[in-house]
Amino acid sequence: MNIILLLFSFFAFEPQTKHANFQNTASIQLRYADSLDIKIGQLIIFGFYGTVINKNDLVYKAVQEGKIGSLLIYGRNLAPQKTGDALKQLIDEYQKAASIPLFISIDQEGGKVNRLKPELGFPQMPSAEWLGKMNNPDTTKFYADNIGYTLSRLGINLNYAPVLDVLNRNCPVLGARERCFSADPDVITKHAGITIESHHYFNVKTVVKHFPGHGNALADSHLGVADVTKTWQPIELLPYMRLIKTGQVDAIMTAHIVNGKLDPSMLPATLSKKIMTGLLRDSLGFKGVIFSDDMQMKAISEQYSLEQSIFKAMEAGVDVLMFSNNIPGVNAYEPNNIHAIIKKLVADGKIPMARINASYKRVMELKAKKF
């Protein structure tokens, strides 16, 4: 019996209940007449520099031209004085420049992964591990509400949280940084669900991460290859399975880990059609948006050329490609270059137009989704 059949036989009796408070009331008239340039732009998310608008900046121009559909907020975008007001103004200016509303996104998990820090006037947020140890739904809801409200009032509409990875303190980038709720999938699922609902109350979408499980990695994929073949366990899929069944999951972020149990070719999960399409789409039934983790992380950028990595990720089934320009020692990319590579892949017939349309449709539907 292969590992997927084994997994499904193990979890065959998981309840398939609809979350009582979750509804999708969005309707959208898809813009089928949009140009290829606009459609490709919706599949790119980019990190930018500065705390004020620079209308000569390549990212700003790409937003105006519809060649970027989403932006990332980092510490470098936070002014030291009147931070909240300055950030909201910056976001508002970018939104005014866009013909299609942007996803304005951030990593605001709490604990050590907290872009909006208390020293800049934002609320203190505990780590996921602390919340998991407390294991009190009201406590988790209190802090998740704080995050959702804080993001909403700034104009940030997408958060790369919660983390669904299992807690293993030997994982340098997750467990060692207290980013995981628990080693118990039941605890992870419970607190992740509460976190998602709090975000939804404030109309902030969430991207759960890192599929198909990064928690047992003993290496950091920011720095190089992270092979979890010997350490990954099938129960790491359980939080995804449960939350997908409830309908709560807006989007999922990939992991750049290598997992020979799931793909014997040893492609990183982000570039693996077996994992992104075969497992996540076909077996687990996920119909939402798949975001890549940062394509500039060295597990990808040191192993594959830029064009190879973009092609393989899109072929695998990834909808939105992330370029942070935030990885030390990795060359910064220009948005027009990323856009041109995707457009050429389509022109050359390597990426079918149907593939672009499917991802574009999913992104547009998520942008229109209301709670």
Kind of pairing, strands 113-114 and 251-254? unpaired
Q: Cα–Cα distances in Å, from 243 out to 18, 163, 166, 192, 195?
A: 10, 12, 15, 9, 12
Q: How far is CA 160 from the centre of its chain?
A: 5
Q: Cα–Cα distances in Å, from 5 out to 8, 11, 196?
A: 5, 10, 29
Residue 327: which of 74, 151, 31 has the closest Cα?
A: 74
- As beta bridge partners, residue 70 has 45, 103
Would you name the residues annotated as active-site residues? 222, 293
Return all residues near 48 (Cβ < 8 A) that are at least 6 apart.
57, 59, 60, 71, 72, 77, 325
- H-state helical runs in 42-179: 58-64, 83-97, 128-134, 137-154
CA distance 225 to 324: 19
